Amino acid sequence: MERKFNIWRGSAEKGEFKTYSIKLEQGMVVLDAIHRIQTEHSNDLAVRWNCKAGKCGSCSMEINGRPKLSCMTRMNEFAEDDIITIQPLKTFPIIKDLVTDVSWNYKQNKMIPPFKPRVKKNGKDHVMFQQDVVRRLQCFVRLQKCAVFTVVRRLQCLWNSQKTLVSRMLVLR
Ligand code: FES
């Protein structure tokens, strides 16, 4: 299926939308489509991405006027006859095509003090506490798979159902 894309090409001072048409395959996201456009039509199209898993935010762009992560935006979200418009985020200065200057984010990040867990009075810090909780959870998960625990639980169920049966018989008398 052929799909049309209007993609911003150029810098902040000078640029225009260019139309590209590519064939899509099932399961593609917008970032895949952009990569295909790079491969088939315009290998100088600038786009930034890193994780392709919705974690880093570097593939952020405006897709049909809305800020989105292109690696997490599925092509099947759009109508088949939709022409998809892709442009850089308006919040940041454009460097080239879909790439913006996000250095402001890094400056802000440096201003955030690093997390230092408080040391508790008994000398154990938060990490130790979390490890303790994790250990207990792991023990509980193992218990669910433990054969002995399963047998005991089944015997309890049997005992409970027999108690119910006996009490019902008493009621019936
Ligand atoms: S590539 Fe990292 S969020 Fe899209």
Higher-confidence position of 49 and 136: 49
CA-wise closest residue to 48 among 15, 94, 79: 94
Cα 49 to averaged position of ligand 1 atoms, centre (Å): 6
By CB atoms closer than 10 A (0-12, 13-18, 19+), residue 18 is: middle
Cα 99 to averaged position of ligand 1 atoms, centre (Å): 13
For domain 2-100, give the CATH number: 3.10.20.30
Each domain of the chain, given as residue ranges in start order, spans: 2-100, 103-163
Answer whether 34 contacts ligand 1 (Cβ < 6 A): no
Check whether 150 has a pLDDT greater than 80.
no
Query: What pLDDT is recorded for position 49?
Result: 96
Cα 96 to averaged position of ligand 1 atoms, centre (Å): 18
pLDDT digits (tens, 9 = 90+) for 5-64: 999 999 989 999 999 999 999 999 999 999 999 999 999 999 999 999 999 999 999 999
